[in-house]
A and B are shown apart, each in its own frame.
Chain A
Amino acid sequence: MTGSPLPSSWTWIRLAPAAALQNNPDFMPSLSSSRAVDHASEEALIAALRAADDDAFTTFTHQHAGPMLAVARRIVGSEEDARDALQEAFLSAFKAIKSFEGGSRLSTWLHRIVVNAALMKLRSRKRAHERPIEDLLPKFLSDGHQATPAAAWQETGDSEAQRKENRALVRAAIDELPEIYRTVLLLRDIEELSTEETAEVLGINNNAVKTRLHRARQALRTLLDPHFREGP
Protein backbone atom coordinates (compact mmCIF):
# COMPACT_ATOMS: atom_id res chain seq x y z
CA MET A 1 0.00 0.00 0.00
CA THR A 2 1.07 3.56 -0.57
CA GLY A 3 0.39 6.79 1.23
CA SER A 4 -2.45 7.60 -1.13
CA PRO A 5 -5.97 7.34 0.26
CA LEU A 6 -6.61 4.17 -1.74
CA PRO A 7 -4.32 1.20 -2.21
CA SER A 8 -2.43 1.56 -5.46
CA SER A 9 -3.67 -1.78 -6.74
CA TRP A 10 -7.20 -0.46 -6.96
CA THR A 11 -8.53 0.61 -10.24
CA TRP A 12 -11.88 2.03 -9.39
CA ILE A 13 -13.77 2.35 -12.58
CA ARG A 14 -17.07 4.10 -12.65
CA LEU A 15 -19.55 2.17 -14.68
CA ALA A 16 -20.33 3.69 -18.01
CA PRO A 17 -23.09 6.28 -17.84
CA ALA A 18 -26.52 5.92 -19.33
CA ALA A 19 -25.60 6.83 -22.87
CA ALA A 20 -22.88 4.21 -23.05
CA LEU A 21 -24.60 2.39 -25.86
CA GLN A 22 -23.69 5.07 -28.33
CA ASN A 23 -20.34 6.18 -27.06
CA ASN A 24 -18.56 3.18 -25.62
CA PRO A 25 -16.31 1.63 -28.27
CA ASP A 26 -16.25 -1.61 -26.26
CA PHE A 27 -19.98 -2.01 -26.39
CA MET A 28 -20.98 -4.86 -28.63
CA PRO A 29 -18.08 -4.86 -31.11
CA SER A 30 -20.32 -6.03 -33.89
CA LEU A 31 -22.22 -2.78 -33.65
CA SER A 32 -19.17 -1.00 -34.99
CA SER A 33 -20.25 -1.54 -38.57
CA SER A 34 -23.56 0.14 -37.93
CA ARG A 35 -21.78 2.88 -35.98
CA ALA A 36 -19.70 3.54 -39.05
CA VAL A 37 -22.82 4.32 -41.00
CA ASP A 38 -22.85 8.08 -40.98
CA HIS A 39 -25.68 10.17 -39.71
CA ALA A 40 -26.96 10.98 -43.19
CA SER A 41 -27.12 7.31 -44.15
CA GLU A 42 -29.05 6.49 -41.01
CA GLU A 43 -31.46 9.35 -41.68
CA ALA A 44 -31.98 8.00 -45.20
CA LEU A 45 -32.56 4.49 -43.89
CA ILE A 46 -35.10 5.73 -41.35
CA ALA A 47 -36.92 7.66 -44.06
CA ALA A 48 -37.01 4.56 -46.27
CA LEU A 49 -38.26 2.41 -43.39
CA ARG A 50 -41.03 4.91 -42.69
CA ALA A 51 -41.96 4.73 -46.36
CA ALA A 52 -42.25 0.92 -45.99
CA ASP A 53 -39.47 0.30 -48.50
CA ASP A 54 -38.82 -3.47 -48.65
CA ASP A 55 -35.09 -3.07 -49.35
CA ALA A 56 -34.74 -0.81 -46.33
CA PHE A 57 -36.27 -3.47 -44.06
CA THR A 58 -33.87 -6.04 -45.49
CA THR A 59 -30.88 -3.74 -44.92
CA PHE A 60 -32.06 -2.86 -41.42
CA THR A 61 -32.52 -6.53 -40.51
CA HIS A 62 -29.12 -7.57 -41.89
CA GLN A 63 -27.39 -4.66 -40.13
CA HIS A 64 -28.85 -5.24 -36.69
CA ALA A 65 -29.86 -8.89 -36.35
CA GLY A 66 -26.38 -10.03 -35.25
CA PRO A 67 -25.72 -7.66 -32.37
CA MET A 68 -29.35 -7.80 -31.28
CA LEU A 69 -29.40 -11.61 -31.26
CA ALA A 70 -26.34 -11.39 -29.02
CA VAL A 71 -28.33 -9.20 -26.61
CA ALA A 72 -31.25 -11.65 -26.58
CA ARG A 73 -28.90 -14.61 -26.07
CA ARG A 74 -27.27 -12.92 -23.06
CA ILE A 75 -30.61 -12.25 -21.42
CA VAL A 76 -32.64 -15.39 -22.03
CA GLY A 77 -29.91 -18.01 -22.19
CA SER A 78 -31.87 -20.42 -24.37
CA GLU A 79 -31.17 -20.25 -28.11
CA GLU A 80 -34.76 -20.94 -29.05
CA ASP A 81 -36.11 -18.22 -26.76
CA ALA A 82 -33.46 -15.79 -28.00
CA ARG A 83 -34.49 -16.33 -31.62
CA ASP A 84 -38.18 -15.95 -30.74
CA ALA A 85 -37.45 -12.77 -28.81
CA LEU A 86 -35.43 -11.37 -31.71
CA GLN A 87 -38.19 -12.07 -34.20
CA GLU A 88 -40.82 -10.52 -31.94
CA ALA A 89 -38.60 -7.49 -31.36
CA PHE A 90 -38.04 -6.89 -35.06
CA LEU A 91 -41.75 -7.17 -35.79
CA SER A 92 -42.45 -4.66 -33.01
CA ALA A 93 -39.79 -2.37 -34.40
CA PHE A 94 -41.20 -2.60 -37.94
CA LYS A 95 -44.62 -1.61 -36.61
CA ALA A 96 -43.26 1.21 -34.44
CA ILE A 97 -40.77 2.72 -36.89
CA LYS A 98 -43.16 5.52 -37.80
CA SER A 99 -43.17 6.66 -34.18
CA PHE A 100 -39.36 6.60 -33.90
CA GLU A 101 -38.48 10.19 -33.14
CA GLY A 102 -34.80 10.06 -33.98
CA GLY A 103 -33.66 11.35 -30.60
CA SER A 104 -31.27 8.40 -30.31
CA ARG A 105 -29.48 6.09 -32.71
CA LEU A 106 -31.58 3.46 -34.40
CA SER A 107 -29.44 0.77 -32.74
CA THR A 108 -30.11 2.24 -29.27
CA TRP A 109 -33.85 2.33 -29.93
CA LEU A 110 -33.85 -1.24 -31.26
CA HIS A 111 -31.71 -2.43 -28.33
CA ARG A 112 -34.38 -1.27 -25.91
CA ILE A 113 -37.07 -3.13 -27.87
CA VAL A 114 -34.97 -6.32 -27.91
CA VAL A 115 -34.33 -6.05 -24.16
CA ASN A 116 -38.07 -5.76 -23.54
CA ALA A 117 -38.87 -8.71 -25.81
CA ALA A 118 -36.18 -10.84 -24.13
CA LEU A 119 -37.48 -9.94 -20.67
CA MET A 120 -41.02 -10.90 -21.71
CA LYS A 121 -39.67 -14.24 -22.86
CA LEU A 122 -37.79 -14.66 -19.61
CA ARG A 123 -40.90 -13.99 -17.53
CA SER A 124 -42.87 -16.57 -19.45
CA ARG A 125 -40.63 -19.44 -18.42
CA LYS A 126 -40.18 -20.85 -14.96
CA ARG A 127 -36.71 -21.60 -13.72
CA ALA A 128 -36.19 -25.01 -12.21
CA HIS A 129 -33.91 -24.09 -9.34
CA GLU A 130 -32.94 -20.84 -7.70
CA ARG A 131 -30.56 -20.37 -4.80
CA PRO A 132 -31.71 -17.89 -2.17
CA ILE A 133 -29.66 -14.68 -2.46
CA GLU A 134 -28.90 -14.78 1.30
CA ASP A 135 -26.79 -17.91 0.77
CA LEU A 136 -24.55 -15.95 -1.56
CA LEU A 137 -24.07 -12.73 0.42
CA PRO A 138 -21.07 -12.20 2.72
CA LYS A 139 -21.51 -13.17 6.36
CA PHE A 140 -20.43 -11.05 9.34
CA LEU A 141 -19.69 -11.57 13.02
CA SER A 142 -21.69 -9.68 15.66
CA ASP A 143 -18.94 -7.02 15.84
CA GLY A 144 -19.21 -6.37 12.09
CA HIS A 145 -16.02 -8.17 10.98
CA GLN A 146 -16.14 -10.50 7.97
CA ALA A 147 -16.98 -14.02 9.21
CA THR A 148 -14.64 -15.50 6.60
CA PRO A 149 -12.03 -12.86 5.75
CA ALA A 150 -11.82 -12.30 2.00
CA ALA A 151 -8.62 -13.47 0.32
CA ALA A 152 -6.91 -11.77 -2.61
CA TRP A 153 -7.68 -13.00 -6.12
CA GLN A 154 -5.09 -14.07 -8.65
CA GLU A 155 -4.74 -12.34 -12.01
CA THR A 156 -7.62 -13.30 -14.27
CA GLY A 157 -5.45 -13.57 -17.39
CA ASP A 158 -5.73 -11.70 -20.65
CA SER A 159 -5.13 -14.34 -23.33
CA GLU A 160 -8.03 -15.21 -25.62
CA ALA A 161 -8.14 -18.74 -24.21
CA GLN A 162 -8.26 -17.38 -20.66
CA ARG A 163 -10.94 -14.86 -21.55
CA LYS A 164 -13.01 -17.64 -23.10
CA GLU A 165 -12.66 -19.75 -19.98
CA ASN A 166 -13.51 -16.81 -17.73
CA ARG A 167 -16.52 -15.97 -19.87
CA ALA A 168 -17.89 -19.49 -19.47
CA LEU A 169 -17.32 -19.36 -15.71
CA VAL A 170 -18.99 -15.98 -15.34
CA ARG A 171 -21.96 -16.93 -17.50
CA ALA A 172 -22.54 -20.09 -15.50
CA ALA A 173 -22.32 -18.10 -12.27
CA ILE A 174 -24.72 -15.42 -13.54
CA ASP A 175 -27.20 -18.17 -14.42
CA GLU A 176 -27.16 -19.28 -10.79
CA LEU A 177 -28.36 -15.91 -9.53
CA PRO A 178 -32.00 -15.53 -8.52
CA GLU A 179 -33.94 -14.05 -11.43
CA ILE A 180 -34.68 -10.60 -9.99
CA TYR A 181 -30.99 -10.05 -9.25
CA ARG A 182 -29.75 -11.63 -12.46
CA THR A 183 -31.95 -9.39 -14.58
CA VAL A 184 -30.74 -6.17 -12.94
CA LEU A 185 -27.11 -7.25 -13.25
CA LEU A 186 -27.55 -8.08 -16.95
CA LEU A 187 -29.29 -4.81 -17.74
CA ARG A 188 -26.97 -2.56 -15.73
CA ASP A 189 -23.55 -4.15 -16.09
CA ILE A 190 -23.73 -6.01 -19.36
CA GLU A 191 -26.33 -4.19 -21.46
CA GLU A 192 -25.26 -0.92 -19.81
CA LEU A 193 -28.69 0.56 -19.27
CA SER A 194 -28.72 3.39 -16.75
CA THR A 195 -30.27 2.97 -13.31
CA GLU A 196 -33.28 4.98 -14.50
CA GLU A 197 -33.70 2.97 -17.70
CA THR A 198 -33.41 -0.31 -15.80
CA ALA A 199 -35.98 0.87 -13.26
CA GLU A 200 -38.36 1.82 -16.03
CA VAL A 201 -37.96 -1.45 -17.96
CA LEU A 202 -38.49 -3.54 -14.81
CA GLY A 203 -41.18 -1.35 -13.25
CA ILE A 204 -39.28 -0.80 -10.01
CA ASN A 205 -37.75 2.29 -8.41
CA ASN A 206 -34.15 3.48 -8.68
CA ASN A 207 -33.26 2.46 -5.13
CA ALA A 208 -34.46 -1.08 -5.76
CA VAL A 209 -32.24 -1.22 -8.85
CA LYS A 210 -29.22 -0.03 -6.84
CA THR A 211 -29.86 -2.47 -3.99
CA ARG A 212 -30.41 -5.44 -6.30
CA LEU A 213 -27.35 -4.59 -8.37
CA HIS A 214 -25.08 -4.46 -5.32
CA ARG A 215 -26.47 -7.73 -3.99
CA ALA A 216 -26.18 -9.37 -7.40
CA ARG A 217 -22.52 -8.36 -7.69
CA GLN A 218 -21.82 -9.58 -4.16
CA ALA A 219 -23.48 -12.91 -4.94
CA LEU A 220 -21.59 -13.23 -8.21
CA ARG A 221 -18.34 -12.47 -6.39
CA THR A 222 -19.13 -15.27 -3.93
CA LEU A 223 -19.73 -17.73 -6.78
CA LEU A 224 -16.50 -16.76 -8.55
CA ASP A 225 -14.36 -16.65 -5.41
CA PRO A 226 -13.37 -20.37 -5.39
CA HIS A 227 -12.13 -20.05 -8.97
CA PHE A 228 -10.01 -16.95 -8.53
CA ARG A 229 -8.81 -16.79 -4.92
CA GLU A 230 -5.08 -17.14 -4.40
CA GLY A 231 -3.47 -20.00 -2.54
CA PRO A 232 -4.78 -23.43 -1.57
Chain B
Amino acid sequence: MGLWSRMIAKLHLFGARRGLRKPLLTCREIIDFIEAFRTGELPAEQRREFQIHIDVCPPCVAYLDSYQTTIQLEKTCRDDPADAHVPPELIKAILAAREKSQ
Protein backbone atom coordinates (compact mmCIF):
# COMPACT_ATOMS: atom_id res chain seq x y z
CA MET B 1 0.00 0.00 0.00
CA GLY B 2 1.41 3.37 -0.98
CA LEU B 3 2.06 6.27 1.38
CA TRP B 4 -0.55 8.46 -0.29
CA SER B 5 -3.29 5.80 -0.11
CA ARG B 6 -2.41 5.14 3.52
CA MET B 7 -2.64 8.83 4.38
CA ILE B 8 -6.03 9.17 2.68
CA ALA B 9 -7.32 6.08 4.47
CA LYS B 10 -6.12 7.42 7.84
CA LEU B 11 -7.70 10.82 7.20
CA HIS B 12 -11.01 9.13 6.35
CA LEU B 13 -10.89 7.00 9.48
CA PHE B 14 -9.95 10.03 11.61
CA GLY B 15 -12.84 12.07 10.18
CA ALA B 16 -15.33 9.24 10.50
CA ARG B 17 -14.41 8.57 14.15
CA ARG B 18 -15.00 12.22 15.05
CA GLY B 19 -18.24 12.50 13.16
CA LEU B 20 -16.67 14.94 10.68
CA ARG B 21 -17.68 12.81 7.73
CA LYS B 22 -19.80 9.81 7.07
CA PRO B 23 -18.05 6.50 7.77
CA LEU B 24 -16.17 4.71 5.02
CA LEU B 25 -17.94 1.88 3.28
CA THR B 26 -18.27 -1.13 5.56
CA CYS B 27 -17.16 -4.66 4.69
CA ARG B 28 -20.81 -5.52 4.09
CA GLU B 29 -21.11 -2.70 1.56
CA ILE B 30 -17.83 -3.64 -0.10
CA ILE B 31 -19.08 -7.18 -0.64
CA ASP B 32 -22.48 -5.88 -1.80
CA PHE B 33 -20.80 -3.56 -4.30
CA ILE B 34 -18.33 -6.03 -5.84
CA GLU B 35 -20.29 -6.42 -9.04
CA ALA B 36 -20.89 -2.70 -9.46
CA PHE B 37 -17.16 -2.15 -8.92
CA ARG B 38 -16.21 -4.87 -11.40
CA THR B 39 -18.52 -3.58 -14.10
CA GLY B 40 -17.60 0.08 -13.55
CA GLU B 41 -21.15 0.97 -12.44
CA LEU B 42 -20.11 2.25 -9.01
CA PRO B 43 -20.33 6.08 -8.79
CA ALA B 44 -16.94 7.83 -8.62
CA GLU B 45 -17.15 8.75 -4.92
CA GLN B 46 -18.08 5.23 -3.85
CA ARG B 47 -15.46 3.80 -6.14
CA ARG B 48 -12.83 5.91 -4.37
CA GLU B 49 -14.10 4.80 -0.97
CA PHE B 50 -14.15 1.20 -2.16
CA GLN B 51 -10.47 1.47 -3.07
CA ILE B 52 -9.61 3.18 0.21
CA HIS B 53 -11.37 0.41 2.15
CA ILE B 54 -9.57 -2.41 0.41
CA ASP B 55 -6.25 -0.69 0.97
CA VAL B 56 -6.72 -1.11 4.71
CA CYS B 57 -8.84 -4.30 4.99
CA PRO B 58 -7.04 -7.62 4.33
CA PRO B 59 -10.22 -9.73 4.90
CA CYS B 60 -12.00 -7.81 2.14
CA VAL B 61 -8.99 -8.26 -0.16
CA ALA B 62 -9.11 -12.00 0.59
CA TYR B 63 -12.84 -12.06 -0.09
CA LEU B 64 -12.55 -10.18 -3.38
CA ASP B 65 -9.65 -12.35 -4.54
CA SER B 66 -11.54 -15.55 -3.77
CA TYR B 67 -14.70 -14.17 -5.42
CA GLN B 68 -12.66 -13.54 -8.56
CA THR B 69 -11.11 -17.03 -8.35
CA THR B 70 -14.60 -18.52 -7.99
CA ILE B 71 -15.58 -17.00 -11.33
CA GLN B 72 -12.40 -18.30 -12.95
CA LEU B 73 -13.06 -21.78 -11.53
CA GLU B 74 -16.59 -21.73 -12.94
CA LYS B 75 -15.08 -21.40 -16.40
CA THR B 76 -13.35 -24.77 -16.02
CA CYS B 77 -16.80 -26.38 -16.19
CA ARG B 78 -17.10 -25.68 -19.88
CA ASP B 79 -13.81 -27.16 -21.05
CA ASP B 80 -14.41 -30.82 -20.33
CA PRO B 81 -13.92 -32.65 -23.65
CA ALA B 82 -16.02 -35.55 -22.35
CA ASP B 83 -19.06 -33.25 -22.33
CA ALA B 84 -19.10 -32.98 -26.08
CA HIS B 85 -19.06 -36.72 -26.76
CA VAL B 86 -22.22 -37.68 -28.61
CA PRO B 87 -23.32 -41.30 -28.79
CA PRO B 88 -23.90 -42.18 -32.47
CA GLU B 89 -27.32 -43.58 -31.61
CA LEU B 90 -28.40 -40.15 -30.41
CA ILE B 91 -27.59 -38.58 -33.76
CA LYS B 92 -29.47 -41.38 -35.47
CA ALA B 93 -32.44 -40.82 -33.14
CA ILE B 94 -32.49 -37.08 -33.90
CA LEU B 95 -32.45 -37.64 -37.65
CA ALA B 96 -35.03 -40.41 -37.39
CA ALA B 97 -37.30 -38.14 -35.32
CA ARG B 98 -37.03 -35.49 -38.03
CA GLU B 99 -38.06 -37.94 -40.72
CA LYS B 100 -40.95 -39.13 -38.58
CA SER B 101 -42.15 -35.58 -37.92
CA GLN B 102 -42.38 -34.73 -41.61
Contacts and interface: CB of A to CB of B under 8 A. Distances in A.
Interface of A: 1-7, 9-15, 26-30, 57-58, 61-62, 65-67, 69-70, 73-74, 83, 86-87, 90-91, 94-95, 138, 140, 143-146, 149-153, 156, 163-164, 166-167, 169-171, 174, 185, 189-191, 210, 213-214, 217-218, 220-221, 224-225, 228-229
Contacts of A87: 90, 93-94, 97
Interface of B: 1-5, 26-29, 31, 34-35, 38-39, 51, 54-55, 58-81, 83-86, 90-91, 93-95, 97-98, 101
B91 A62 contact: yes
B90 A86 contact: yes
A74 B78 contact: yes
Contacts of A140: 26-28
A122 to B, nearest CB: 16
Given A69-B90, A170-B77, A61 B1 contact: no
Given A87-B94, A221-B70, A167 B76 contact: yes
A15 B34 CA distance: 13
Contacts of B91: 61-62, 65
Contact of B83 (A10, A73, A95, A156): A73
B7 to A, nearest CB: 11
What 7 pairs across the A-B complex have the smallest Cβ distances? Answer: A3-B2, A144-B26, A149-B59, A70-B83, A150-B63, A66-B84, A150-B62
A167 B28 contact: no
Contacts of B62: 149-153
A138 B31 contact: yes
B94 A61 contact: yes
Given A146-B63, A153-B69, A67 B98 contact: no
A229 B62 CA distance: 10
A205 to B, nearest CB: 16
A70 B5 contact: no
B71 A152 contact: no
B1 A86 contact: no
A170 B2 CA distance: 36
A2 B1 contact: yes
A175 to B, nearest CB: 11
A106 B95 CA distance: 18
B94 to A, nearest CB: 5
Contacts of A152: 62, 65-66
11 contacts: A2-B1, A11-B68, A26-B75, A66-B85, A69-B85, A69-B86, A90-B97, A95-B101, A153-B69, A220-B70, A224-B73
Contacts of B79: 26, 29, 163, 167
